[in-house]
Protein backbone atom coordinates (compact mmCIF):
# COMPACT_ATOMS: atom_id res chain seq x y z
CA UNK A 1 0.00 0.00 0.00
CA UNK A 2 1.43 3.38 -0.87
CA UNK A 3 2.05 6.02 1.78
CA UNK A 4 -1.04 7.97 2.73
CA UNK A 5 -3.46 5.74 0.80
CA UNK A 6 -6.59 4.81 2.75
CA UNK A 7 -7.02 1.06 3.27
CA UNK A 8 -9.95 -0.67 1.59
CA UNK A 9 -12.53 -2.93 3.28
CA UNK A 10 -10.57 -6.13 2.49
CA UNK A 11 -7.59 -4.69 4.38
CA UNK A 12 -9.63 -4.45 7.58
CA UNK A 13 -11.29 -7.85 7.03
CA UNK A 14 -7.93 -9.58 6.66
CA UNK A 15 -6.49 -7.83 9.71
CA UNK A 16 -9.54 -8.78 11.76
CA UNK A 17 -9.26 -12.41 10.71
CA UNK A 18 -5.54 -12.43 11.56
CA UNK A 19 -6.30 -11.03 15.01
CA UNK A 20 -8.98 -13.66 15.56
CA UNK A 21 -6.67 -16.45 14.44
CA UNK A 22 -3.85 -15.15 16.65
CA UNK A 23 -6.21 -15.12 19.64
CA UNK A 24 -7.27 -18.73 19.03
CA UNK A 25 -3.64 -19.83 18.56
CA UNK A 26 -2.51 -18.18 21.80
CA UNK A 27 -5.39 -19.78 23.72
CA UNK A 28 -4.72 -23.20 22.23
CA UNK A 29 -0.99 -22.88 22.96
CA UNK A 30 -1.75 -22.04 26.60
CA UNK A 31 -4.12 -25.01 26.84
CA UNK A 32 -1.58 -27.33 25.22
CA UNK A 33 1.08 -26.24 27.72
CA UNK A 34 -0.95 -28.09 30.37
CA UNK A 35 -2.58 -30.73 28.12
CA UNK A 36 0.18 -31.76 25.68
CA UNK A 37 -1.42 -35.12 24.85
CA UNK A 38 -4.77 -33.72 23.72
CA UNK A 39 -4.65 -34.86 20.10
CA UNK A 40 -7.78 -32.92 19.11
CA UNK A 41 -6.31 -29.67 20.47
CA UNK A 42 -3.03 -30.30 18.64
CA UNK A 43 -4.97 -30.89 15.42
CA UNK A 44 -6.98 -27.71 15.96
CA UNK A 45 -3.79 -25.74 16.63
CA UNK A 46 -2.26 -26.99 13.40
CA UNK A 47 -5.41 -26.22 11.40
CA UNK A 48 -5.58 -22.67 12.74
CA UNK A 49 -1.83 -22.20 12.21
CA UNK A 50 -2.21 -23.28 8.58
CA UNK A 51 -5.18 -20.93 8.09
CA UNK A 52 -3.19 -18.08 9.64
CA UNK A 53 -0.35 -18.68 7.18
CA UNK A 54 -2.82 -18.57 4.30
CA UNK A 55 -4.47 -15.35 5.45
CA UNK A 56 -1.10 -13.72 6.18
CA UNK A 57 0.10 -14.64 2.69
CA UNK A 58 -2.98 -13.03 1.12
CA UNK A 59 -2.58 -9.92 3.27
CA UNK A 60 1.13 -9.56 2.46
CA UNK A 61 0.61 -10.10 -1.27
CA UNK A 62 -1.90 -7.23 -1.32
CA UNK A 63 -0.68 -4.82 1.35
CA UNK A 64 2.91 -5.61 2.27
CA UNK A 65 4.71 -7.32 5.13
CA UNK A 66 3.22 -7.92 8.57
CA UNK A 67 6.45 -8.71 10.41
CA UNK A 68 9.99 -7.38 10.27
CA UNK A 69 13.40 -9.02 10.84
CA UNK A 70 13.07 -11.64 8.14
CA UNK A 71 9.69 -13.05 9.13
CA UNK A 72 8.06 -11.46 6.07
CA UNK A 73 9.42 -10.74 2.63
CA UNK A 74 9.49 -7.24 1.20
CA UNK A 75 8.45 -6.21 -2.26
CA UNK A 76 10.58 -3.90 -4.35
CA UNK A 77 10.97 -1.13 -3.59
CA UNK A 78 11.38 -1.58 0.17
CA UNK A 79 7.88 -0.98 1.50
CA UNK A 80 8.26 -0.78 5.26
CA UNK A 81 8.00 2.99 5.12
CA UNK A 82 4.48 2.81 3.71
CA UNK A 83 1.67 3.47 6.15
CA UNK A 84 -0.65 2.69 7.74
CA UNK A 85 1.07 -0.23 9.45
CA UNK A 86 -1.14 -3.05 10.74
CA UNK A 87 -0.77 -1.88 14.34
CA UNK A 88 -1.85 1.67 13.47
CA UNK A 89 -5.39 0.89 12.35
Would you kindly state where each structural domain of the chain is located, as residue ranges? 10-76
Q: How confident is the model at residue 42 (pLDDT cuts 50, 70, 90)?
A: very high
Q: What's CA 7's distance to the chain center, in Å?
A: 16
Q: Alpha-carbon distance 29 to 62, whole Å?
A: 29
Residue 83 has pLDDT above 80, yes or no: no
More confident residue, 81 or 8: 8
Report, as an integer, the average pLDDT of 17-45: 94
Amino acid sequence: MSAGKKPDEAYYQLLTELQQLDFVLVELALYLDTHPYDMQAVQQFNQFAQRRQQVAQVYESRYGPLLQFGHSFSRYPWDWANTPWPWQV
